[in-house]
Structure 1
Amino acid sequence: MIPVFICEDNEIQRKTIEGYINNYIMIEELDMRIEMSTDDPNELLNYLEKEPRLNGIYFLDVDLNHEINGIQLGAKIRDKDISGKIIFITTHSEMMYFTFKYKVEAMDYIIKDESENLQQRIIDVLKQSKKHYEEAQSTYDERLKIKIGNKVRVFSVSEVMFIETSLVPHKLTLHLMQSTVDFYGKINEVESLSDSFLRIHKSFVVNIKSIATVNKKKYEVIMENGEICPIAIRKVSLLNRRLG
């Protein structure tokens, strides 16, 4: 069962969103249900703290008239549910920038306008979420656990591009498809975290499954997200063997 969460301070809007979701779930007989619909972000966070959920779908209003806004709420949800699908529904299109600032990695950003468009966008999100869950269930998805502060975050190895040493002493930077995360660690211990990882440079460990191109003339690899990592000359033959 895929849990769906709604956080919207406007009761009329909240009931409207509930209706669109419930109707679509019923018509399509989806293995989903609205687990919580609330106007209080703390209620949602407390629920996730007591009953942690993975792979939830979250519809969040940006302006919640609360001490935290929807984007800040999304960032907190992301800490608890790394694989969750976060969708913002709002009248404030200019706030989209802050989803990148807070590294929320939102699935969609729906602007409130005509109800017909809102309904179709919600349906499209549910369709896409269902597809993602089915694909995830049909393939093994290796997980990477990293301690950040006093929390442990879980990442899908398939989303990892590479890990590099940071300019901050004793820190590393994890590069995902669309974001980065800093954490304390040693680069010489990272390679052992997954069979897909390979240290190709004194400062870089790459996910070989995320390599798009190897440029042997420039001694560098280009990852699927376009980022570039250097290759130490002595590591070229090893990388070739691993790539087959």
Structure 2
Amino acid sequence: MKVFISDDQEQQRLWLNDIITKQLDALHFNYELVSAWQPADVLAAVKNGGGPNLYFLDIVLQREINGIQLASKIRDYDPDGFVVYVTIRDDMMPETLSAMTTPTGFISKANMFDETKFVPQVQQVLEVVKKRLVTLERSAEPTLTLRSGALLLTLKLKDIVYCEKVHGLRTTRIVTTSQSYVVHKNLNTIKQQLTAMRFFNEFQSYALNLEHVITVDFNKGVISMDNRDHLTFSRGTIKKLKAYYQTQE
């Protein structure tokens, strides 16, 4: 989990960094503190990474956008992230709700630099975050997450029928139970995320979800999938799948 602390007052930001990381360590969080705090830099970092992440945002950022607007943009890339507002402007709490940023908590700056009053607020929020993380981890289904250009794609592994290398290009076609996607990613890179469930990754140009295989004709080299696609392989290639099935008997 990545942790962002966005505050345009350097003295306050550095103090928050120290206080928050101490409490994260005390509660045994597995986290990475990201140095980015400017809205544009935070968004760039979120776009390139997964989630859920943890965000401590000052509502009154004196930048191109304020903390509430930043949280709204974060939600486009990290819908399950934890947004905590750290602010002196308690009167703006209703605005954070109307903007549908789904905050996890609010920490008042009225007690800034007073550890005895401020730390318990941080502890309370982090305990809530930890409980919710446990729930998310228990309920989360394995997924494939890719960014290809402007496309951010997250697919449940169980819904992927197969992935196919597009010959001559560093491009892969991902076929799911409902539709197909063409992404500018090398198939071998995608296979690194296809380790859960029953994926067969030994074919050079394909990754197959064996849960979606209906029949295999080893003599003709034809694999029939449950979406009615028929994939054809050479006898030498299909032997790899035959050998795999023999190890499962």
The interval holding the TM-score normalised by the smaller chain is 0.5 to 0.7
Q: Secondary structure at the match of 1:42?
A: helix
Residue of structure 1 equivalent to 2:120: 120
Give the distance between the partners of 1:42 and 1:33, measured in 2 at CA: 19
> Offset at 1:152?
6.9
Larger radius of gyration: 2
Q: Name the CA shift for 1:110/1:95 in 2 (closer, same or farther; >3 Å).
A: same
Map residues 93-132 of structure 1 onto 2, 5 A cutoff: 93-114=90-111, 115=114, 116-132=116-132
Check if 1:63 corresponds to 2:60. yes
CA contact (8 A) 1:22 1:33 kept: no
Map residues 173-212 of structure 1 onto 2, 5 A cutoff: none
Structure 2 stretches lacking a partner, 5+ long: 144-149, 155-177, 179-249
Q: Name the CA shift for 1:107/1:151 in 2 (closer, same or farther; >3 Å).
A: farther
2:40 is matched with which residue: 29, 42, 52?
A: 42
How many residues matched?
150
> Offset at 1:15?
1.1
TM-score normalised by the chain length of structure 2: 0.53
Map residues 1-244 of structure 1 onto 2, 5 A cutoff: 2-38=1-37, 40-49=38-47, 51-114=48-111, 115=114, 116-140=116-140
Give the distance between the partners of 2:126 and 2:36, measured in 1 at CA: 16
Q: Name the CA shift for 1:37/1:123 in 2 (closer, same or farther; >3 Å).
A: farther
Q: Secondary structure at the match of 2:24?
A: helix
CA contact (8 A) 2:23 2:122 kept: no
Q: Secondary structure at the match of 2:103?
A: coil
TM-score normalised by the chain length of structure 1: 0.54
CA contact (8 A) 1:71 1:102 kept: yes
Give the distance between the partners of 2:132 and 2:32, measured in 1 at CA: 17
| CA root-mean-square deviation | 2.9
- Once the two structures are overlaid, the 10-residue window that deviates more, 68-77 or 20-29, is 20-29
Give the distance between the partners of 2:142 and 2:36, measured in 1 at CA: 32
> Offset at 1:141?
5.5
Per-residue CA deviation, residues 155-194 of structure 1 (Å, 9 max, x unaligned), is xxxxxxxxxxxxxxxxxxxxxxxxxxxxxxxxxxxxx9xx
Give the distance between the partners of 1:12 and 1:119, measured in 2 at CA: 17
> Offset at 1:23?
1.2
> Offset at 1:81?
0.3
Give the distance between the partners of 1:85 and 1:7, measured in 2 at CA: 13
Q: Secondary structure at the match of 1:30?
A: coil
Give the distance between the partners of 2:118 and 2:88, measured in 1 at CA: 11
CA contact (8 A) 2:57 2:67 kept: yes
> Offset at 1:118?
2.4
Q: Percent same amino acid among aligned pairs?
A: 27
Structure 1 stretches lacking a partner, 5+ long: 144-149, 155-191, 193-244
